[in-house]
Structure 1
Amino acid sequence: MSTPNNTTTAPETPPVVYPDYESLKLDRPAPHVLRVLLSRGKMNSLDFQMHKDLGSIWRRIDEDPTVSAVLLAGEGRAFSAGGDFDMVQRIIDDYDFRCQMWKEGRALVQNMLDCTKPIVSAISGPAAGGGLAAALLADVTVAGRTAKLVDGHTTLGVAADDHAVALWPLLCGMAKAKYYLMTSDAITGEEAERIGLVSFCVDDDEVDARALEIAIRLSQGAPSAIRFTKLALNNWIRAAWPSFEASLAFGILGFTGPEAKEGLAALQEKRPPVFEQRSYI
């Protein structure tokens, strides 16, 4: 008499279909490695659609059975210069759009934290604003020596939001986080590694190769063990979620005031901002 076989074969997960993104290019430089390339003009600045796509793509990646690791990079000489001027102006002028950007900014952080696949970022050239948020929310970060990392929010006249209040104190300590987030001083890749803001700093022409090497290594490791480790470690960031929510609200509030208008005008006119010294709070 044969023994009944109670084992069942799990149904195959259907392949994930990625849309044709306007400003994100996808390719597979190695088996089980998906590369997400920011591609919008010379500086890969974010408009609304690019910001939305960069926030939502992680949910698709998490469901893609063919992906074991992700490589995030910028096309050309910049990782990303952050939000473009038109988008910032619209945030200032349009209440409904301002609320939508609050929602999309929250989704970017949430979805990158929830994505179980390990993410490696290759940071070359300038990285600012929402682009910097995505770069530093990666699990392993590789920066070029002359890369220029800058949060930049206070120069614009709004509170540091996006990701920094939750993440930077964990990476480089409260003293450095407070200084760089309040002054908006730029940090080279070399200095970013020294203070712990990024995982590795390499020569500029080695960034992509080193990041890909790490992504391939992660893609060949024990997938469940690596993903569970990532999820557990990300609870340190989730513990700071109330601080992140407050920073995001303060940042959005700032777009309604005169400081953001002056900050944007100064950037457009390529001059230092002149903020009126009065007490708002």
Structure 2
Amino acid sequence: MSNSILLKIENNIAYITLNRPEVFNSFNREMALSLQSVFDDCEKNDAVRAMVLTGNGKAFCAGQDLKEVTSPELNPGFKKILEEHYNPIILRIRNIEKPIIGAINGVAAGAGANIALACDVVIADEKVSFIQAFSLIGLIPDSAGTFFLPRLIGFQKASALAMLGDKVSAEEAERLGMIYKYVPSDAFSETVQKTASKMANMPTKALGLIKKTLNQSLTNDLENQLALESKHQIEAAGTEDYAEGVAAFIEKRQPNFKGK
């Protein structure tokens, strides 16, 4: 793993930090591939039951490092950038059957904004802004921005933000339903930690099945979604954590979930 991604695993939580603060954690090829590798490792690691994705320094992520794409020597080209960098990152975030919390500590722009929106639960510092910055340099939203944004906030608002490139404050993002919530700066770290700790101690298999079921709801019709709910509910009911949850409810005690 390169220094562009930091990983700390503690109390069943993987803290994944984008670490190019000198360029506001903008992505180059090395960082994009390293993030994919870290996600893969965390997916396979049974000790990891929740993940936190955040940024080091003043920004969460400013999107693509434009110096890379304007360098004759370094530029991988947009085909590689999308097909080998951002698309695989988004697919990993959505397909890993563990909860991923987007802890948005600073500005999230371009691909950085859309990576944030792909997370399962997004908590933002009150000073954060989200920017669909693509149109401002003659591009279109990528990293699933055109997929998630209209589903989160509606077609008209998404169209305006994508075309105009307006900044959206953390407070406005919560009001629109773009994110789960924003919190004051002095409570941000504690809120993220408490949320991650709660999720790391919940029934991990059930959370993964919730994620799978919600993913397919984005394209399923009602009949197929009901059938999928039945399938995944039966699977959840066969887990050790379900048995523990029912026993704890009957015995009027706190459950001790193991993620199995």
TM-score, normalised with respect to structure 1: 0.72
Secondary structure class of the residue paired with 1:158: coil
CA distance in 1, matches of 2:12, 2:45: 10
Matched, 1:41 2:14: no
Distance in 1 (CA, whole Å) between partners of 2:139 and 2:210 is 35
| 1:127–1:150 Cα contact (<8 Å) kept | yes
8 Å contact 1:125–1:146 — kept in the other structure?
yes
Question: What is the CA distance between 1:61 and its match in structure 2?
Answer: 1.6
Q: Distance in 2 between matches of 1:209 and 1:130?
A: 26
Separation in structure 1 between the aligned mates of residue 122 and residue 112 of structure 2, nearest angstrom: 13
Q: Secondary structure at the match of 1:198?
A: coil
Change (3 A) 1:134 1:54: farther
Structure 2 spans left out of the alignment, 5+ residues: 221-260
Q: Which residue of 2 aligns with 1:4?
A: none
The amino acid across from 2:55 in the alignment is G
Give the aligned CA root-mean-square deviation in angstroms. 1.9
1:79 match: secondary structure: strand
Give the one of 151, 154, 159 matched to 2:140.
Answer: 159
Give the superposition deviation at 1:56: 4.0
> Residue 147 in 1 paired to residue 113 in 2?
no
Task: State whether residues 55 and 105 of structure 1, in contact with CA within 8 Å, keep that contact through their aligned partners in structure 2.
Answer: no
Q: Is the Cα–Cα contact under 8 Å of residues 4 and 20 in structure 2 kept in the other structure?
A: yes
Matches of 1:235 and 1:90, distance apart in 2: 39
Q: Which residue of 1 aligns with 2:247?
A: none
2:70 match: secondary structure: helix
If the length of structure 2 is used for normalisation, what is the TM-score?
Answer: 0.78
Count of aligned residue pairs for this structure pair = 217
Output the CA distance in 1 between the equivalents of 2:159 and 2:186.
31
- Whichever of the two has the greater Rg, that structure is 1
Alignment of 1:7-86 (within 5 A): 20-28=1-9, 30-42=10-22, 43-86=24-67
- In the TM superposition, what whole-angstrom CA distance separates every residue of 1:162-203 from its partner, at most 9, and x where no partner exists? 121110111111121111111111111011001000001111
Match of 2:229 in 1: none
Identical positions, percent: 26
What whole-Å deviation, never above 9, does each CA across 1:27-81 have from its counterpart, x for those lacking one?
A: 13x4100100111133112111112222343222211111000011111221111
Question: Using a 3 Å threshold, how does the CA distance of structure 1 residues 130 and 146 change in structure 2: closer, same or farther?
Answer: same
The answer (yes or no) to whether the contact 2:111–2:142 under 8 Å persists in 1 is: no
* 2:103 is the alignment partner of 1:113: no
Q: CA deviation at 1:21?
A: 2.1
